[in-house]
Amino acid sequence: MIPVTGLEGAQVAVLGLGRSGLSAARALAAGGAEPLCWDDNGDARARAEAEGFTCRAFRSVQDFDAVTRLIVSPGIPHLYPEPNPVIAAALAAGVPVDNDIGLFFQSFATSDWHRFDTSPRVIAVTGSNGKSTTSALIHHVLSASGRPCQLAGNIGRGVLDIDLPHDGEVVVLELSSYQTELARSLTPDIAVFTNLSPDHLDRHGGMGGYFAAKRRLFAEGGPDRAVIGVDEAEGRFLAGQLSEGRGDDRVIRVSVERKLTGPGWQVFARKGFLAEYRKERQVASVDLRGIAGLPGSHNHQNACAAWAACRALGLAPKVIEAGFHSYPGLPHRSQLVGEVRGVRFVNDSKATNVDAAAHALAAFDSVRWICGGLEKEGGLSGLSAAAGSVRRAYVIGREAAGFALQLSVDAEVCTTMEAAVRRAVEDAEPGDVVLLAPAAASFDQYDNFEQRGDDFVAEVSKYL
């Protein structure tokens, strides 16, 4: 646990008592603060009270008279589409609003570090797609190289649940826009921006607000090094804002769309080959095509970002390459479930938006595509360019018929995962890939994308 510092003796309100909320309450108490907890869910309050925490409703400005700070769980809106009433009351009372990420960066460094030969470091990864794989890949490469490291944030453990760091340890954090938009302290040593595509637009008040939430990771604290995907205009803009000039190697630009040139530091992938250039000279290259855990150009982008972050830490190219080859991949992200009679089954349930699903489709030549769910803003037109590999779509979800009508490919309305997998298996021929890449949220039928992916794996297992 990372005990929260700087709030000793203070009353701190904690809104939302899921994983991050309870973790924050424990860390606040460990640091000498008095957490006052609230969740609209009675079962969540009961769990907090069973741990000895005081639960108190915050309904008015006056309820915050003695409160120093409000800590908010990531799923609770504070501005758009409208503020949660508790957050609105706190802001009206002049109480600062923060989250567990802010508490982590506020409390991570301790006086014990003066005994270390090498100070612990933090790599923080954000972006629309690929941040989980990029974070896990960095962590895997570090672990395989023998470097002490921990993985936390939106993946792995909660940020305040990690162990106190050792000499030279690296903490890798995956951070969503919900987490970066509110944290009062954001001071990673290395910050990574994978890419940007429309997502969570209602929560951020549009694309500009969404980008602004991501940008805070780079603007608030100023990382020593920034790894920036520059295949979108926003990434190029961000890299330009952070750089003092073309040769400024504090910014490492990453691309999977073109060769990057110039006197700075670049990492890019073309036709399955990763190349690193510094001062206009190639210093390393890797063939990514045979790495089973990183299929497709979207994973090559993740590999480039992870490579750049690891190189910024000083790891040798051969060490990073070896880590790539032993990387097993993550569940629900281009996860190979099995193969039978020449047909492969791939679970990419994490492809919850159009851009992620398009990248998943582009990774394979002949696809039986299982898609559908709770459609996000912006429609499905962005899938058309990647649909050339699709032989047929099998659409799930409560609104499967409406979803199917928007697709530019032959589509069959199946509604349930059981029916979609069964029909895909009946149609599949050797060389086909039965791919779950929903291009939609899961909440119309499942609690989360993991549950949806698990259902796909369970249905596929009937045929393996």
- The response to whether 129 counts as a known ligand-binding position is yes
What superfamily does domain 104-325 belong to in CATH? Mur-like, catalytic domain (3.40.1190.10)
Residues of the chain with CATH 3.40.1190.10: 104-325
Q: Tell me, what's the pLDDT at 113?
A: 92
> What pLDDT digit, counting tens, does each position of 385-419 carry?
888 999 999 999 999 999 999 999 999 999 999 99
Distances (CA, A) of 83 to 13, 14, 246, 252: 16, 16, 41, 37
What's the distance, CA 265 to chain centroid? 24
Q: Tell me, what's the pLDDT at 386?
A: 82
Structural tokens at position 309:
């972050």
pTM of the model: 0.86
What's the distance, CA 261 to chain centroid? 28
- The response to whether 187 counts as a known ligand-binding position is no
- The response to whether 415 counts as a known ligand-binding position is no
Helix (H) or strand (E) holding 340: strand 335-340
Intervals of the chain under pLDDT 50: none
Residues of the chain with CATH 3.90.190.20: 335-460
Q: Tell me, what's the pLDDT at 45?
A: 95
Residues of the chain with CATH 3.40.50.720: 11-98
- Cβ(312)–Cβ(172) under 8 Å? no
- Cβ(175)–Cβ(153) under 8 Å? yes
Distance separating alpha carbons of residues 414 and 422, to the nearest angstrom:
10
- The response to whether 130 counts as a known ligand-binding position is yes
Residue 318, C-beta contacts closer than 8 angstroms, at least 6 positions apart: none
> What pLDDT digit, counting tens, does each position of 233-261 carry?
999 999 999 999 999 999 999 999 999 99
Q: Tell me, what's the pLDDT at 222?
A: 86
Q: Tell me, what's the pLDDT at 201?
A: 87
- Nearest Cα neighbor of 191 from 230, 224, 232 is 224
Residue 386, C-beta contacts closer than 8 angstroms, at least 6 positions apart: 357, 358, 359, 361, 362
Q: Tell me, what's the pLDDT at 200?
A: 83
- The response to whether 384 counts as a known ligand-binding position is no
- The response to whether 442 counts as a known ligand-binding position is no
Q: Please count the residues of the chain.
A: 464
Q: Fold for domain 335-460?
A: Protein-Tyrosine Phosphatase; Chain A (3.90.190)
Helix axes 42-50 and 19-30, enclosed angle (nearest 10): 30
Output the CATH code of domain 11-98.
3.40.50.720
Distance separating alpha carbons of residues 1 and 30, to the nearest angstrom:
9
Residue 167, C-beta contacts closer than 8 angstroms, at least 6 positions apart: 115, 116, 117, 118, 120
Distance separating alpha carbons of residues 380 and 364, to the nearest angstrom:
19
Residue 159, C-beta contacts closer than 8 angstroms, at least 6 positions apart: 2, 23, 100, 101, 104, 152, 153, 173
